[in-house]
Amino acid sequence: MTQCDRYLGLPMAIGNSKVNTFKDIQEKITKRVMGWKEKFISKAGREILIKTVAQAIPTYSMSLFKLPRSLCDNINSLVAKYWWGQHQDERKIHWINWKKLCTQKKNGGMGFRDLHSFNLAMLSKQAWRLIEDTHSLFYKVYKARYFPNGSFMMAEVRSSPSFVWRSLLAARDILVAGSYWRWGW
């Protein structure tokens, strides 16, 4: 693994335990969040730090891999604890549910990202590229490997698919659920 891969949060090898594979991302976020001194930072400053640093660290990995829900929940929990000013051992009251904080500001939330939903959105963007951009190298490589005689929407899981391919198939289910057929214009 190169230093660049470690910085970007790329896993060295994807094994059976996906949580252990992506543990570096959680550790990197934990180290960043624990280094911030919340008593010197206002709520607005905490909001900016969470949105621009803590929730941005796993973005590249999320665009390639479907992170385990438990890992996303752990990161969301860590960020929520920082938001409410909780230290390691003390317990503070979380006055508003994290889901409510993740809603848009115009709807009464804070606009934080729910990392699991954001992960699926990033993967859906890659899956959409497989549907729309049929001249790209990305499409040609995946077509030759995973769906040589059909389309991405009709592709099936074969024996020993890569973790990236399984992640894209999870995103395909979201595209199917959110799409509809339109006749004419």
3-state secondary structure of 13: coil
Residue with tokens 């550790």: 27
**Which tens digits make up the pLDDT trace of 53-111?**
888 899 899 999 999 999 999 998 888 888 877 666 667 777 778 888 888 889 888 88
- Tell me the percentage of the chain whose pLDDT exceeds 90: 29
Q: Are 135 and 73 in contact (CB under 8 A)?
A: no
The domains of the chain are located at: 3-118, 124-178
Report whether 51 contacts 115 (CB < 8 A).
no
At 35-62, the pLDDT tens digits run 777 667 787 888 888 888 888 899 899 9
Give the residue from 41, 38, 36, 40 showing the smallest Cα distance to 53: 36
Query: For residue 86, what are the contacts with CB-CB under 8 A and spacing of at least 6?
Result: 92
How do residues 153-181 score in pLDDT, each as one tens digit? 888 888 788 899 999 999 998 888 887 76
Which tens digits make up the pLDDT trace of 114-154?
999 999 999 999 999 999 999 999 999 999 999 999 889 88
**DSSP H stretches of helix in 36-114:** 43-49, 59-62, 69-83, 98-101
Show Cβ contacts of residue 44 under 8 Å, excluding neighbours closer than 6 positions: none
Q: What is the pLDDT of residue 176?
A: 86
Residue 13 pLDDT: 52
